Homo-oligomer: A and B are copies of this chain.
């Protein structure tokens, strides 16, 4: 016991390869090899090392391994605002997809943070395998800074034109054009639109798509209001719209605002879908909840996440490859509000 204290100066030193080597009666390198796939090592010896490691509770220190030159297996995900339902669902899928390929996602939530840039700066001190940007309103300067550090960047939701940045992006205009067409075919004529905040490319692209469909029918939207992508803001924007004009069709830049608008319509006694069609965008999980049952444009999240991981793997395999843009096709999901 006394001896114990003498031998272990630091109280809770992590078990190292050295310790295991001594316990198993082999060299440090043998221990390393025992844990390296396809390294030359006598099977019996490998067995012995593994046993000793298990007994001592050893596991190779990922920090040291990462330092030594290989990959850190750390991937940062920068999220614009995790309080946004769609972003949250994307992050959830992304986390799952990354976990599955043994990449460990570090999350940074711009929504809850006062100084995003500072946080990014701190996280960039880790030699990340990659950075995933999930934000419609990310300062492109930050992305460019990452490429300077030679960290692969995957931008999701907004296409950044940079030779080192891969992008995955949904065909926004196509989706909302189809949604508008659906309502036109149903005989709707008085369209309203609830946009997202200024500066979000997805919102403006979606608005453009609607405009295009309307223009082809010789129409234009009757009224447009903007929210901030939250349910509450959708509720408020819808109320303003209902004050201003008598609509029979309402398209929204995302599902959350559409759900808010649906609440506002019901509160006002408007019959949806008999008197007013409401269509969202994204197909978040709440859209299919009983009591909401929102008709919407599906922005397929799982495909999205898989695509991000695919681009990531391709980039890691060949860091010099030209940058890529993966477009995701949308499709209409007809439920009860159109």
**Residues on B with beta carbons closer than 8 Å to the beta carbon of A145:** 57
Chain B CB within 8 A of A150 CB: yes
Say whether A61 contacts B67, CB under 8 Å.
yes
> What B residues does A217 contact at CB under 8 A?
none
Residues of B within 8 A of A291 (CB): 259, 262-263, 266, 291-292
A33-66, CB < 8 A from B: 57, 59-66
Cβ A100 vs Cβ B82 within 8 A: no
Residues in B neighbouring A60, C-beta threshold 8 A: 125
Residues of chain B lying within 8 A (CB to CB) of residue A112: 92-93, 95-97, 99-100
Give A255-292 interface residues, CB cut-off 8 Å to B.
259-260, 262-264, 266-267, 285-286, 289-292
Interface segment, A115-123, A168-176, A218-226, A242-250? A115-123
Assembled-state Cα–Cα distance A262/B290 (Å):
8
Q: Which B residues lie within 8 Å of A63 (CB)?
A: 63, 66-67, 72, 126-127
Choice from B67, B83, B107, B231 contacting A107 with Cβ under 8 Å: B107
Chain B minimum-CB-distance residue to A98:
B107
* A105-B104 in contact given A72-B63, A112-B99, A290-B260 (Cβ < 8 Å): no
Inter-chain contact A107/B109, CB cutoff 8 Å? no
Inter-chain CA distance A127–B60, complex, in Å, is: 10
Contacts of A66 in B (CB 8 A): 63
A26 contacts the other chain (CB 8 A): no
Smallest distance from the beta carbon of A108 to chain B beta carbons, Å? 6
Given known A106-B106, A125-B60, A286-B286, contact A96–B119 (CB-CB < 8 A): no
* B289 adjacent to A59 (CB under 8 Å): no
A102 close to chain B: CB less than 8 A = yes
For A5, list chain B residues within 8 Å (CB).
none
Q: For the complex, is A335 an interface residue (Cβ under 8 Å from B)?
A: no
Indicate how many identical chains form the complex: 2
**Alpha-carbon distance A270/B114, docked complex (angstroms):** 46
- Using A62-B126, A149-B14, A235-B290 as known contacts, say yes or no to A99 and B95 having CB atoms under 8 A apart: no
- Point out the residue from B104, B113, B259 that lies within 8 Å of A96, measured CB to CB: B113
Of A64, A100, A104, chain B has the most CB atoms within 10 Å of the CB of A104
> In the complex, what residue of chain B is closest to A77 when comparing beta carbons?
B107
A319, CB-defined interface residue at 8 Å: yes
CB contacts (< 8 Å) of A14 on chain B: these are 127, 149-150
Residues of chain B contacted by A285 (CB below 8 angstroms): 83
A91 to chain B, nearest CB (A): 8
Nearest opposing residue in chain B for A112, CB measure? B96
Q: Cβ of A57 and Cβ of B149 under 8 Å apart? A: yes
**Which residues of chain B are within 8 angstroms of A74 by Cβ–Cβ distance?**
106
Docked complex: A167-216 residues within 8 A CB-CB of B: none
Which of A14, A67, A99 gathers the greatest number of chain B CB atoms within 10 Å? A99
Asked if A137 CB lies within 8 Å of chain B CBs, one says no
A96 to B267 Cα, complex, angstroms: 34
User: Does A99 contact B88, Cβ atoms closer than 8 Å?
Assistant: no
Query: What's the Cα separation between A235 and B290 when bound, in Å?
Result: 8
A107 to chain B: which residues have CB within 8 Å?
95, 99, 105, 107
What are 6 contact pairs spanning A and B, CB under 8 A?
A57-B148, A62-B125, A74-B106, A93-B112, A97-B112, A291-B292
